[in-house]
Amino acid sequence: MTRSNTSLAADPGHARLRVEGNPARERRFYKAYGLTISSELALPELEPTAPAAADIVIAVGPIDYPKPSLEAGTAFRFEPRQQYLAWQAVGAFLISDACRIIVDPAPGIDDQLIAFPLLGPVMALLLHQRGLLILHASAIAVGGRSAIFMGDKGAGKSTTAGAMISAGHGLLTDDVVALDLSSRDEPMIVPGFPQLKLAADAAAAIPIRQAEVRPQVHPAIDKAQHRLHGGFSPDKVPVTRLYILERGEKAAISPLPEIAALSAVIRFSYVTRFGRPALVGDFATRHLRHCAGLAGRIGVCRLEVPTGLGRIGEAVALIEKDLASDDRAR
């Protein structure tokens, strides 16, 4: 057996691993969710960092699991130490031990399109395996406090977050909200990465300064990626308020009773998108405990957002007032 000849470039955030006799992929290093990520895929959505010991390794290679059929479109398999997710049109992903992701792209698919499921449901499931509570939501930092926006598809989570950024507040994370519940008294939001996905009408109505709009990667994806070069909050922030977004005649906030709050947290937790099979082993008990703990400690409210992008400022003003009143109550 011959030893592979490997070398690692010294550029911060950008290293090339060369293996003799094999096609090489550039290995890049990023920061997201408080973790160092080493990736063979280009992920410009993330913040680059210097090469270091990686908490998460993303590699490209074959996965020995049955691929989804054209009719089914998807295939999922969940085990305590391995989770397999595959989309027929994009590729397959195998998570191992909550620290490694193997990516097997579909033929002709580039890194930009692979990044959508990789940084969405795949990353969400990996973070869940690492003991965080993951919500399908957007989160904003507001002067040491925070607002988390949950809701059904089309409710305006990212749009409301964008309006908050335009008003001078900082994005914590969009789509995948990771909560660290290790402190019983103060749940914390772990910042993700500086990107917000907005539909064209929302982007036109909400001016976000210092944002780079990346090219559309697929006709079926109706939201554009806005890479923020300002307006991102990189530090953990305590969870202050969770808002369930709904459309209404005027901006209004009403608190939910605890049982309804728990139901909402469970409903909008990311892992429930995969159903009961994803909660293998003791994950079901832990997940319910995390959801109940959050709903019992943090105010969960219904937030009615006026219909029409021209009135989004009314919701922003109400959120700011609500968070300020919570601060005074403390």
- Which residues of the chain are in CATH 3.40.50.300 domains? 133-329
Rounded Cα distance between 320 and 286, Å, is 33
Task: For residue 277, count CB atoms less than 10 angstroms from its CB and return exposed for 0-12, middle for 13-18, buried for 19 or more.
Answer: exposed
Residue in 176, 105, 205, 155 with CA at minimum distance from that of residue 307? 155
Rounded Cα distance between 291 and 268, Å, is 10
Q: What is the mean pLDDT of the chain?
A: 89
Report helix, strand and coil shares of the chain as percent, to nearest 5: 25, 35, 40
For 274-292, write each residue's pLDDT tens digit: 988 899 888 899 999 999 9
Average pLDDT over residues 29-56: 97
Average pLDDT over residues 9-32: 57
For 114-163, write each residue's pLDDT tens digit: 999 999 999 999 999 999 999 999 999 999 999 999 999 889 999 999 99
Axis crossing angle, helix 258-267 with helix 283-297, rounded to the nearest 10: 130
- CATH code of the domain made up of 133-329: 3.40.50.300
Rounded Cα distance between 54 and 90, Å, is 25
Residue 20 has pLDDT above 70, yes or no: no
Average pLDDT over residues 55-74: 93
Looking at residue 152, its amino acid is D
C-alpha distance across the termini of the chain, in Å: 66
Residue 5 has pLDDT above 60, yes or no: no
* Residue 48 near residue 30, CB atoms below 8 Å: yes
Q: Which residue has the higher pLDDT, 330 or 17?
A: 330
Overall size of the chain counted in residues: 330
Regarding beta strands 241-248 and 145-150, do their DSSP bridges make them parallel or antiparallel, or are they unpaired? Answer: parallel
Q: What is the pLDDT of residue 264?
A: 97
Residue 323 has pLDDT above 90, yes or no: yes
3-state secondary structure of 292: helix
Looking at residue 306, its amino acid is P
Cα four-point dihedral sign 324, 325, 326, 330 = positive
Tracing tokens 């939501």 back to the chain, one arrives at: 137
Average pLDDT over residues 207-229: 85
Range among 69-83, 168-182, 281-295 rated most confident: 168-182
For 105-128, write each residue's pLDDT tens digit: 999 999 999 999 999 999 999 999
Buried-state track 242-262, b at ≥16 Cβ within 10 A, e below 16:
bbbbeeeeebbbeebeeeebb
Q: What is the pLDDT of residue 330?
A: 52
Residue in 246, 222, 128, 224 with CA at minimum distance from that of residue 177? 128
* Phi, psi of 149, rounded to the nearest 5 degrees: -110, 115
For 225-252, write each residue's pLDDT tens digit: 999 998 999 999 999 999 999 999 999 9
